[in-house]
Structure 1
Amino acid sequence: MKKLLLLKFALVLLSQVVYGQVKVEQIQEIQVGADTCYARAIHVDSTGLYLGTSNGILYHYNLEKDLLKAQYGSSEMVEIRDLYRSQQGLLTMKSGSTGKLMWVEGQTTRYIDTVIFDSVFLDVLDMTSTGVAVMMGDPVNGFFSLYCSFDYGNTWSNMSYMIPAPDGEFGYAASGSTLKMLSDTSFVFVTGGSKSVFYTVSFKKSEFVELKYTKTEMPFESGEGSGAFSMTSIDDSTFVVVGGNYTEPGKRKKTCFVSSDKGQTWKPSDKMPNGYRSCVIYDEENEILYCSGRNGIDYSLDGGKRWKSLSKTLAFSLTLYKGKLYGTTRNGKVKIFSIKVD
């Protein structure tokens, strides 16, 4: 009996050690955009914070001086849902009845409006360091809307009408994280709705774009507003996908699944995030996963097996920079979390 009690005590201590080491030391709130907008696209680097918002404006905020440095865009870019900053410039993506892109280089702004985006609701874009980009939109005529660029997003080719989209299956534009480039010739993306599916796609550049793909169904709940909303990778084989049902933000059932074999099989978290989650990111340096949604932010220290609440603060999208966690929210504001990792 004594040995059993000691074993139980040791397990309790181990649990505290493993799951009690990430804390929020301070939360700072900054007003970046207009108080009438919200944001789902964010990037932070040494040049400042970039925020793409629902009113069509890209805000550039100087974090050191705590002031707005510049803003770009107009009403024709309403509903910026994703952005990517490369060595060539910054690309923002508009979602709506017809997709459009805005290219920002220095103080120059240029719109990329092509016929292949007509009547397409764009969901997500991603890019490699060499400027190969892929963008996905909602299905059209029974196929996923896919586009590729080989010049940092300046010009685009149509990859559509190659991957069938079953009725009711589509992507979400919740945080610009449902598609991830794996290399200059491959990417993965996830869907929701009638089914939640993990797609692995390879392609090549020639006279036309040739696609090869595989797909695996993920066990999220099905239905409108349900499924996979965000994805990240821990290594080349391990992927973590979060989601749920955005109409039931507090429902914890089936909100995270993990694959350790490049998406071939999926396992549910032993302890799910605390509700619907629209974004998940990975802190490679500290080996910590963070995910967020309408009712708060969670973290995992064991690759997504168990999640623990970090904050009850709403955050649509997350990003990390120099030990701080940045979360987008309503009214043009950004929350900055100073994180302590023991």
Structure 2
Amino acid sequence: MFTHTASHRSLGIAGFVATVCAAAALAAPAAAAPADQHGSLHQQGYSWSPRPTGVQEQFRGLAPVSSRVAWVSGEKGSVLRTTDGGKHWTDVSPAAAKADGLALRDIEAWDSEHAEALSIGPGSDSRIFRTDDGGQTWQQVFTNTDPAAFYDCMAFSSKGIGLAMSDPVDGYFRIARTTDSGKSWTALPTTGMPKALGNEFGFAASGTCLVSAQDAHGARPGEFWFATGGESPRVFHTTNAGDSWTVEDTTVRAGDAAGIYSIAFKNHGTGVAVGGDYTAPTDGTDAAATKHGSSPWKASSNALGGYRSGVAYVPGWGNAVIAVGPTGSDVSSDGGRTWSTFDTTDYDGIHCASDGACWASGPDGAVAQLVIHHGSAE
């Protein structure tokens, strides 16, 4: 039975360890080309170009800054950074995270010097580490003191506001907030949080169960969304940085190991959610849904290629969306209404930088950049 325990939330402690636009010359402009110049992403050829890290750790945390700068964080406390598009990687791991073997499931970065990494787990295993010097030194800026809390993911807005989300404590999802770009964090009261369902939780799968409006056109600095799984997968929404929330049901499949594993928003009212059932990795039915304006979440017209743990809009390519998971990658040119599988490599997470470069990361040290071949047949 896939119960609401530390083991399921970590996707690894009890057997749930899962299973980026540049070509070989590391040129990224192709991925950033505007849709009206080269057509939709769905009309192009696309593939993943590996950026070997030289390590075997599983990297669920991923924070690309550009086609050249990216950070990844791993299951054993590792953080790697590249400043040359993945030709070389530097180990800049927080010493405390390595010593304690913490699972760094989420990392957020602003540039090549500033980043924060979140470790997951019950009680004090949930921590946030910050660096201002490219990982040479780290400060532990948050340590969870509630043994019942278990933090899954975090996100920042363009104004330096950040939220971190924990699974329910005493019937309510717990939110920690920073208003000083991550230098300090405070757990918020739950007075503005809708009550959690009896078997509802988040998934620490790719650092994208909580996202901000930082890259969403027309959205507010205090706007965030987080997604859930379990009894009835839902999406929570705040426009005031976590003081109050609304919640909507979705069409994504429910279950003890099922729900929404990742969400992304293109603008204030346009979003996509992916997931499915982790224990049925090849089954992508009822695993994706879309949101448009005030309309309810609507199921995608066709199934994904399997369970998916990460999703992202591709900047500059209209409504193009990429989803990744253990059985491969899917692309949608219509914002998630329809999908087509284009790769079978195992990746856990996907993020796209503001310059259009999209990166993926996963098991066995896997990192890659998305390559778009203009004018190619699908």
What TM-score, normalized by structure 1, do the two folds share? 0.85
Gaps of 5+ in 1: 1-16
- Counterpart of 1:268 in structure 2 is 299
- Counterpart of 2:103 in structure 1 is 79
| Match for residue 118 of structure 2 among 93, 102, 105 | 93
Distance in 2 between the 1:284 and 1:29 partners? Answer: 20
- The CA RMSD over aligned residues, in Å, is 2.3
Contact between 1:33 and 1:53, CA under 8 Å: does it hold in 2? no
Q: Residues 160 and 69 (structure 1 numbering): CA distance in 2 closer, same or farther, change over 3 Å?
A: same
Q: CA deviation at 1:270?
A: 1.2
Distance in 2 between the 1:194 and 1:333 partners? Answer: 32
| Greater CA drift, 141-150 or 330-339 | 330-339
Give yes or no for the alignment of 1:54 onto 2:75: yes
Q: CA deviation at 1:120?
A: 2.4
- Counterpart of 1:22 in structure 2 is 44
Distance in 2 between the 1:120 and 1:134 partners? Answer: 15
Structure with the higher strand share, 1 or 2: 1
Q: CA deviation at 1:277?
A: 0.8
1:78-116 deviations in whole A, cap 9, x for unaligned? Answer: 111111113682110001123101111102211124354
Distance in 1 between the 2:293 and 2:79 partners? Answer: 38
Q: Residues 77 and 103 (structure 1 numbering): CA distance in 2 closer, same or farther, change over 3 Å?
A: farther
- Counterpart of 1:188 in structure 2 is 225
| Greater CA drift, 122-131 or 328-337 | 328-337
- Counterpart of 2:130 in structure 1 is 103
1:268-298 deviations in whole A, cap 9, x for unaligned? Answer: 1112221111111001301210001111001
Contact between 1:120 and 1:137, CA under 8 Å: does it hold in 2? yes
Distance in 2 between the 1:64 and 1:193 partners? Answer: 38
Q: Which SS does the other structure have where 2:240 is aligned?
A: strand
Q: Residues 231 and 187 (structure 1 numbering): CA distance in 2 closer, same or farther, change over 3 Å?
A: same
Gaps of 5+ in 2: 1-38, 214-219
Contact between 1:144 and 1:160, CA under 8 Å: does it hold in 2? no
Distance in 2 between the 1:83 and 1:117 partners? Answer: 22
| Match for residue 31 of structure 1 among 49, 52, 56 | 52
- Counterpart of 1:14 in structure 2 is none
Distance in 1 between the 2:244 and 2:174 partners? Answer: 15
- Counterpart of 2:201 in structure 1 is 170
| Match for residue 286 of structure 1 among 291, 296, 317 | 317
| Match for residue 366 of structure 2 among 333, 336, 341 | 333
**Structure label with greater radius of gyration:** 1
| Match for residue 42 of structure 1 among 62, 66, 77 | 62
Q: Could you tell me which amino acid in structure 1 is paired with residue 236 of structure 2?
A: Y
Figure out how many residues of one structure are paired with residues of the other and give that number. Answer: 318
Distance in 1 between the 2:69 and 2:161 partners? Answer: 24
Give yes or no for the alignment of 1:121 onto 2:145: no
Contact between 1:249 and 1:294, CA under 8 Å: does it hold in 2? yes
Q: CA deviation at 1:237?
A: 1.1
| Match for residue 68 of structure 1 among 86, 89, 95 | 89
Distance in 2 between the 1:114 and 1:51 partners? Answer: 21
Distance in 1 between the 2:368 and 2:267 partners? Answer: 28
Distance in 2 between the 1:103 and 1:77 partners? Answer: 17
* Bigger relative CO (Cα 8 Å, ≥ 6 apart): 2
Q: Could you tell me which amino acid in structure 2 is paired with residue 285 of structure 1?
A: G
Q: Residues 258 and 69 (structure 1 numbering): CA distance in 2 closer, same or farther, change over 3 Å?
A: same
Distance in 2 between the 1:188 and 1:79 partners? Answer: 23
Contact between 2:311 and 2:351, CA under 8 Å: does it hold in 1? no
- Counterpart of 1:7 in structure 2 is none
| Match for residue 302 of structure 1 among 330, 334, 347 | 334
Q: Residues 270 and 341 (structure 1 numbering): CA distance in 2 closer, same or farther, change over 3 Å?
A: farther
Distance in 2 between the 1:219 and 1:237 partners? Answer: 17
Q: Which SS does the other structure have where 1:203 is aligned?
A: coil
